[in-house]
Amino acid sequence: MSTQAVVTQGRPQPEPAPRTMTRRTAMLIQSAFLIALAVVSLIPVLAIFVGTFQDGNDVIRNGISFSIDFSTLGFDNYVMLFTDSGYYFQWFLNTFVLTIVQVLGTLIISSFVAYGFAMYEFRGKSLGFILVIILMTIPFEMLMLPLYVQVNDLQAADQYWIVVLPFLAQAVTIFFFRQYFLGVPKEILEAGRVDGLTEFGIFFRLVIPITKPAFAAMAILNGMTIWNNFLWPLLVLRSPEKFLLPIGLNTLLTPYGNNYELLIIGSFFSLIPILILFLAFQRFFVEGMTAGAVKG
């Protein structure tokens, strides 16, 4: 045996390096976790979809169950929805139109305010933005009573504009847009002014095209909030034909009888517009949320 071999055998051998997780394995674990999370999240949606083919009283009595008796499934709820649902489609139309109007109004007004905070210098700018941040911390329940008193003083109850007007300038939306606009180079504004564009022209023709992800993200978040808005419309709307979907569906549960069939199938159909909204803007959503979070 050679001298080098003897020396090597006498030395303590180093421990083998721990095997690190490969990138492919990490991606597989991450994908499996996200798929499992998506399945868990979709279980309530799947349950309510199956419930649309069942008797509503049985669903409420037995709850969600994976043991389905297919002999009890039928299309009676769908027939009732399209033939004897009362004001349901009127509520759906009211909510749809009001959501579109309020989302567009909120995006325009809030982006205007945020654009001013991000791009211009004026007296009281810092104080105004601090007030916006403070307003973000105040829950709506604290503002609800003063707003309701004002509505009664103006005799404006049971009008759609009073549902929309108080919330066109959303503090959270203003804050998000302001953070996003801070990342827009001000040289673009100067170039637009040199080309003879007005301030509105600069905003609509130069700034908005490069901030589409921010508008898409806020359209989704505000659309979901407005579509599911319940408390404020409940306070100011009085006529049944003017109700929004959350209020209308709630009226199906009364001390004199509960229309569970229409409640279940109506709740399922109310998910469709939000799903379409998200699918339409999903490619901008993540980009808008992450970019808006790091700008500033």
86-294 has CATH 3.30.1330.10 classification: no
Beta carbons of 138 and 74 less than 8 angstroms apart = no
Q: What is the pLDDT of residues 257-279, one digit of tens each?
A: 678 888 888 988 998 888 888 88
For residue 254, give the H/E element and its range.
strand 253-254
Q: Residue 254 forms beta bridges with which residues? A: 257
Q: What is the pLDDT of residues 158-188, one digit of tens each?
A: 899 999 998 898 899 999 999 889 888 888 8
Residue carrying the six token digits 């305010």: 113
Q: Residue 253 forms beta bridges with which residues? A: 258
| pLDDT tens for the chain, residues 1 to 296 | 455 544 455 555 555 545 556 888 888 888 899 899 888 888 888 888 888 888 877 777 777 666 777 777 888 888 888 888 889 999 999 999 999 999 999 999 999 999 999 998 888 888 999 999 998 888 888 888 899 999 988 888 889 999 999 889 889 999 999 988 988 888 888 888 888 888 889 999 889 888 888 898 899 889 989 999 999 999 999 998 999 999 999 988 877 767 888 888 898 899 888 888 888 777 776 665 555 444 44
pTM of the model: 0.80
The alpha carbon of residue 38 and the mean position of all alpha carbons in its chain are separated, in whole angstroms, by 17
Beta carbons of 245 and 91 less than 8 angstroms apart = yes
Domain coordinates in residue numbering, the chain: 25-74, 86-294
Please give the torsion angle defined by the CA atoms of residues 259, 260, 266 and 272, in that order, rounded to the nearest 10 degrees.
170
Beta carbons of 217 and 288 less than 8 angstroms apart = yes
The rounded radius of gyration (Å) of the Cα atoms in the chain is: 28
Q: What are phi and psi of 230, to 5 degrees?
A: -125, -50
Beta carbons of 94 and 244 less than 8 angstroms apart = yes
pLDDT computed for residue 11 by the predictor:
57
The three-class DSSP label of residue 258 is strand
Residue carrying the six token digits 């105040």: 138
